Amino acid sequence: MYDILVVGAGPAGASAALFAAKAGKKVAVFDNDKSITKRAWVENHYGVIEVTGPELVETGKKQAEKFGAEIVEATVENIEKADGGYTVIAGYKTYSAKHVIIATGLLTDVAEKVGLKTKPGTEPRIKTVLDVDANGKTNMNGIWAAGTIAGVSVHTIITAGDGAKVAINVISELNGERYVDHDLMK
């Protein structure tokens, strides 16, 4: 049983997995290698002079793995309600957790299949997003959304920040108190 399952390993998903794993949560993040960031050239990401989208995605996954997140190379076929949480079906295997974070960018098919409420997107070329509250909660208790699918800007710096924000909110709910992650220089 995992604490958090993250569907999508682009900037939002990997950032959510990084924060959750660093907080000591048992995390798996699912990567189907379809992130739109894989086609990007990025020169507007704070702290990075320039980077290719594929490099940014791989670095994010490595950061999450560094703290114990499990990277699962598979497409999520379904998410089902289960006792005390959800079961994610991916690559002929099942994974269970109390919370799921959907961070699938432009791809809404699994979210819609599950019954998550959608609304029209406001970004150019983003037709549909999930209807979430300010914390990233969807209409299904325990399923959250982060990044482009949650209606935030498609820019990598913004989706990564949204993934971190949503993860902090999930961690806080799991811990029963507000979670803050601050490191000090050694």
Taking the chain (186 residues) in runs of 10, the rounded mean pLDDT of each run is 96 97 98 85 88 91 97 96 94 95 94 96 93 98 97 93 98 97 90
Dmax (CA) for the chain in angstroms is 47
Local structure of 15: helix, strand or coil? helix
CA distance to 28, 47, 130, 169, per residue, from 181 (Å): 20, 19, 27, 12
* Residue-wise pLDDT tens digits, 83-106: 889 999 998 899 999 999 999 998
Report residue 89 CA to chain centroid gap. Answer: 16
Do 30 and 74 meet the contact criterion of CB atoms below 8 Å apart? yes
Instruction: Report the distance separating Cα 43 and Cα 89, nearest Å.
Output: 36
Task: Say whether pTM exceeds 0.85.
Answer: yes
